[in-house]
Amino acid sequence: MPKCAVISLGCPKNLVDSEQMLGLLRQDGFEPCYDVENAEIVIINTCGFLAASREEGLENIHEMEALREDPDSALRCLIAAGCLVSRDKEALVKQCPSVDAFLDVFSRDSVLEAVKKVFPSADSELPEEKAEPLGEMYFEQCPGIASDRNRFPLLPPHVAYLKIAEGCNRRCAFCAIPNIRGKFTSKPMTEIVQEARQLAASGVKELILIAQDTSFYGMDLRDPDGSRTNDSLADLLPLLSEVDGIRWIRVQYLYPQNFGEDLISALAETPKVVPYIDMPLQHINDRILHEMRRSAGREETLALLARLRERIPELAVRTAFIAGFPGETKAEFEELLAFLRKQKFEHAAVFQFSPEEGTPAAEMERQVPFKVSLKRTNELLETQKRVSAEWTRKQVGKRLEVLIDAELSEPGTYVGHTQFGAPEIDGNVYVTVDEESATAENGLTIGEFYLCEIVDCDEYDLYAVPVEAE
């Protein structure tokens, strides 16, 4: 059967969609592979969030078009998918004549139909069992998305993202995601738990919950009579904690609103939920937050951070900020800078404001000059670099549990992560065993947990030696 590969760009939500498309093709007999050079089918799952990400998607499509022209290339079917297609499909069709099909985010599960137009005689000899239908109500709520139970893993097999919702109801002035992925739609909890069980059965030990706004989970769900259900993220976390085989549960993309005491308690008290929160804040100045159309202001944000750190010992917080939002004054930027210094976030990303077409922020007056916003971005990044280095220095001498993600080329050297850092996003932990232990029998096992002593660090990464293997 033909080999198929995917180039997955953008966020983890896109990665789940990429895995689902490969899984659907595998289910029908096609052979997933990781090497696009040898694949007969290539899917480029694009991001459309920022201008830079759109350029990256277009470059990848053109690169695959060029590969297809090579007489020695195996490539016969080229598909563009994802957010860029949802945002700019008409332009893409004109710019990319060699692409066989364009699938927007709501056409993801039509990938097999698109491939069969190029490979009409490809039939599965041993089809895998198809996922159980979710029922009419779910498909009415989220047309074209369905479940994610057919995925072919692109991450190490012990880690998986679990998408708990699609779309977004927030209308942040700088963001085009609601225009691309539609209204916020929660998956039913029964489906999420079933996906978690399936992932655990395949060897997954860490679940990373994702959505555009995970703290909003369940607020859109309705009973047959139209009344809102009581389902929430606070209800979901204990159910996932009961899934056998799952060791860690990590929550990303929490919005700093809808944080009742029940959610804080669930994050603090659910046994498998790690002391880590990903919560993009974007700014701290009240006027800027209002212009951004963010619902949580300065005092609400400060109170929430204080409450979370009070309830969750050793909590690691990842956040994100935008520098140079339209109208941002020097004083408002200095307020953000002081906030970053004082809060000492363990992990933080900083983005230079990008005026995205179709968003209110792009049309705002008093756009900050590019050089000024770039300077502010770099200043925030340098400040966070010092803050992160201070945190990593405090880890030296501690004994932390490390989940091993991969073995490196240097004998006896491995890379992993702790509860306090998300894989492939935050800093790594490099674990070295002595030469006598660096054998097939005595080395570390990928996907296993080891108690390690942190012996050194740099600004973002930790270096460790194993103390005791579980």
Q: Which helix (H) or strand (E) holds 38?
A: none
- Averaged pLDDT for residues 1-30: 93
- Averaged pLDDT for residues 393-404: 97
Q: What is the reported pLDDT for 223?
A: 67
Q: What is the reported pLDDT for 145?
A: 47
* Domain edges within the chain: 3-116, 136-395, 399-469
Angle 89-90-95 from CA coordinates, rounded to 5°: 90
Q: Which two tokens stand for residue 338?
A: 């002081």
CA distance 130 to 354: 42
* CATH number attached to the domain at 136-395: 3.80.30.20
CA distance 190 to 416: 31
Structure confidence at residue 106 as a pLDDT band (50, 70, 90): confident
Residue for token pair 């089809």: 127
Convert the pLDDT of each residue in 72-81 to its tens digit. 899 999 999 9
Q: Which two tokens stand for residue 334?
A: 């200095």
Q: Answer yes or no: is pLDDT of 163 > 60.
A: yes
Radius of gyration from C-alpha coordinates of the chain = 23
Longest dimension (CA), the chain: 66
Q: Which two tokens stand for residue 259?
A: 């944080």
The share of the chain scoring above pLDDT 70, in percent, equals 91
Convert the pLDDT of each residue in 317-326 to its tens digit. 999 999 999 9
Of 101-115, 182-196, 385-399, 440-454, where does mean pLDDT reach its minimum? 440-454
Coil, strand or helix at 220: coil
Q: What is the reported pLDDT for 1?
A: 86
Q: Answer yes or no: is pLDDT of 440 > 90.
A: no
CA distance 303 to 257: 11
* CATH number attached to the domain at 3-116: 3.40.50.12160
Which CATH class for the 399-469 domain? mainly beta
Convert the pLDDT of each residue in 245-280 to its tens digit. 999 999 999 999 878 899 999 999 999 999 999 999
Dihedral angle at the C-alpha atoms of 433, 438, 440, 445, nearest 10 degrees?
Answer: 10
Angle 110-29-33 from CA coordinates, rounded to 5°: 90
Residue 117 Cα distances to 30, 94, 114, 225, 295, angstroms: 14, 20, 6, 42, 47
DSSP string, 370-430: HHHHHHHHHHHHHHHHHHHHHHHHHHTT-EEEEEEEEE-SSTTEEEEE-TTS-TTTS--EE
Of 87-101, 222-236, 380-394, 407-421, where does mean pLDDT reach its minimum? 222-236
Q: What is the reported pLDDT for 393?
A: 97
Q: What is the reported pLDDT for 14?
A: 93
| Cβ atoms of 21 and 57 closer than 8 Å | no
Q: Answer yes or no: is pLDDT of 449 > 80.
A: yes
- Averaged pLDDT for residues 296-325: 96
The share of the chain scoring above pLDDT 90, in percent, equals 75
Angle 297-303-309 from CA coordinates, rounded to 5°: 130
Q: What is the reported pLDDT for 357?
A: 85
| Cβ atoms of 231 and 186 closer than 8 Å | yes
Return the higher-pLDDT residue of 51 and 351. 351
**Bridging pattern class, strands 159-163 and 165-166:** unpaired
Q: What is the reported pLDDT for 123?
A: 57
Q: What is the reported pLDDT for 230?
A: 72
- Averaged pLDDT for residues 161-176: 92
Classify residue 257 by its DSSP letter. Answer: S
Q: Answer yes or no: is pLDDT of 182 > 90.
A: no
Structure confidence at residue 120 as a pLDDT band (50, 70, 90): confident
| Cβ atoms of 112 and 90 closer than 8 Å | no
Convert the pLDDT of each residue in 281-295 to its tens digit. 999 999 999 999 998
CA distance 220 to 106: 19
